[in-house]
Amino acid sequence: MTPIESGVAFAPLAAAFVGASLLGPRVGSARIDRLPVLGGIAIALGMSTTIAALAVSGDAFLPGLIVVAVIPVGIGLGLSVPPLINLVLRSVATDDAGSASGTLVTAQQVGNALGVALVGAVFFGRLGDGTGRGPTARRLRPRARCRGRWR
């Protein structure tokens, strides 16, 4: 998958997140506390459809299948993240809201950075421990031969 294909495939996830995060609060204050649960269900459904789409597509890149599979993930994140942030911040005293907001955003950024670092470490640990074509190429060679791209 090229960077452009990846961006095109995952842009609907971002659009679904924005749409759901804007529409979610409009359900009314009586039901807004249920949005994180509905969002979690949508995320689980979306991850299941993404796994199924990847299993069906195999080595081929089927952008339509991936796009349809990631939309529920974006909807779920859009339904769950804003109400959870609201839940955290509304329990803080008004005088401390600015500090709490800054702490929350910092914690989110640290969590995102640690998540990317952890997934990258596991991925590259499994891929190979060297640089260049040596160890990495040896691990990729059988798959590339199946696709007819390695001679």
The predicted pLDDT at position 150 comes to 47
Q: Looking at this protein, which amino acid is placed at residue 55?
A: A
Task: Round to whole Å and give the CA distance between 117 and 12.
Answer: 25
Task: Tell me the domain boundaries of the chain.
Answer: 1-91, 94-151
Nearest CA to 11 out of 71, 60, 88 is that of 71
pTM above 0.75, yes or no: no
DSSP state of 29: T
The band of 146, judged by pLDDT with boundaries at 50, 70 and 90, is: low
Please state the rounded mean pLDDT for residues 62-91. 88
Dump pLDDT digits (tens) for 106-129. Answer: 999 999 999 999 998 888 777 765
Count the residues in the chain: 151
The predicted pLDDT at position 44 comes to 95
Distances, alpha carbon 61 to alpha carbons 35, 50, 66, 85, 138, in Å: 33, 13, 8, 36, 23
